[in-house]
Copies of this chain bind each other. A is one copy, B any other.
Amino acid sequence: MTKQQLIDNIYKTESFLCVGLDSDRKKLPRHLLGCDDPIFEFNKAIIDATAPYCVAYKPNVAFYECEGLQGWTALEKTVAYLKRHYPDHLIIADAKRGDIGNTSAMYARCFFEQLDVDALTIAPYMGEDSVTPFLGYRGKWVILLALTSNKGSHDFQMTESKDGECLFETVIRKSQVWANDENMMYVVGATQGELFADIRRVAPNHFLLVPGVGAQGGSLEEVCRYGMTKDCGLLVNSSRGIIFADNTERFAEVAGEKAKELQQQMKQLLK
């Protein structure tokens, strides 16, 4: 998916919501546990209920990987379902991969050829040659961790260099030599508030993937105040706040309502 297609989808849907499919088997509604593939059945219902209100889906691979072969099957089926029924929705595999060049190339094959998602989150610690193997795929996106939403983001990402630059700024600045705003986005946590202004100084045009609204306590208004660009430039993710808002037989309906609530706020903020 190109940047322009993503922007078009955002304005058409009046939403920059990404629904996080962190489909922890232990949290699924009980009545689904008898199905052959409970995680896929859950995802399918969540997707059908939320698709009108969002532009992207982000399965976090950990929740599938920890179920072994069954989990991988559920992930593959979820991606295939999305591609078939909702081809305009961006599919992000949240995997936070990154390794030496020849190994990153294997991960790229895994996610961009076999699973065939549109975007993949990558950890920057190992530098350029750990990231570039993911950049050679037309229409695919690398979403590089910059300033994450968790408490531990302060441990290293905020470390100030002797040149007065925080590590997350160094990551954003240097990675722009390898990539551009048509094939790279950055992860910036919604909990980071005013730091979005610093991010926009280094990356004025890149899309940012913003987790941390909802269960993690980030504010949508604040993210938009400091982070929105003329093309929106934001994909705001909510996972638990939508998919696990209810765990009765009405789970999908309630997830749809929660997604719609966010979409309605986003519609105002897009104006």
Residues of chain A at the chain B interface (Cβ within 8 Å): 22, 24, 60, 62-63, 65-66, 68-69, 72-73, 76, 94, 96-101, 103-104, 106-107, 109-110, 114, 123-131, 145, 148-157, 159-162, 164, 167, 170-171, 174, 211, 216
Q: Which residues of B contact A127 (CB under 8 A)?
A: 150-157
A175 to chain B, nearest CB (A): 9
A152–B167 touching, CB < 8 Å: no
Q: Which residues of B contact A159 (CB under 8 A)?
A: 161, 167, 170
Q: Which residues of B contact A68 (CB under 8 A)?
A: 72, 76, 110, 114
Q: Which residues of B contact A60 (CB under 8 A)?
A: 99, 103
Q: Which residues of B contact A153 (CB under 8 A)?
A: 126-127
Q: Which residues of B contact A155 (CB under 8 A)?
A: 124, 127-128, 174
A22–B103 touching, CB < 8 Å: yes
A41 to chain B, nearest CB (A): 19
A107–B148 touching, CB < 8 Å: no
Q: Which residues of B contact A110 (CB under 8 A)?
A: 62, 65-66, 68
Q: Which residues of B contact A76 (CB under 8 A)?
A: 68
B128–A125 touching, CB < 8 Å: no
B130–A150 touching, CB < 8 Å: yes
Q: Which residues of B contact A107 (CB under 8 A)?
A: 62, 65-66
Q: Which residues of B contact A66 (CB under 8 A)?
A: 106-107, 109-110, 114
B126–A152 touching, CB < 8 Å: yes
- Taking a contact as CB atoms closer than 8 A, the residue among B73, B128, B149, B162 that contacts A152 in the complex is B128
Bound-state Cα–Cα, A166 to B168, Å: 15
Q: Which residues of B contact A164 (CB under 8 A)?
A: 162
In the assembled complex, 11 residue pairs joining A and B whose CB atoms fall closer than 8 Å, in A order, are: A62-B107, A63-B106, A66-B110, A123-B126, A124-B125, A124-B155, A130-B150, A130-B152, A156-B167, A159-B161, A160-B161
A69–B62 touching, CB < 8 Å: no
B128–A151 touching, CB < 8 Å: yes
Q: Which residues of B contact A69 (CB under 8 A)?
A: 69, 72-73
B152–A103 touching, CB < 8 Å: no
Query: Looking across the interface, which residue of chain B has its beta carbon closest to that of A212?
Result: B100
- Taking a contact as CB atoms closer than 8 A, the residue among B103, B123, B157 that contacts A62 in the complex is B103
20 A-B pairs besides A66-B110, A127-B156 with CB distance below 8 A are A22-B103, A60-B103, A66-B114, A96-B99, A96-B126, A98-B123, A100-B211, A123-B125, A123-B126, A124-B125, A125-B148, A126-B148, A126-B157, A129-B150, A130-B150, A159-B161, A159-B167, A159-B170, A161-B162, A162-B164
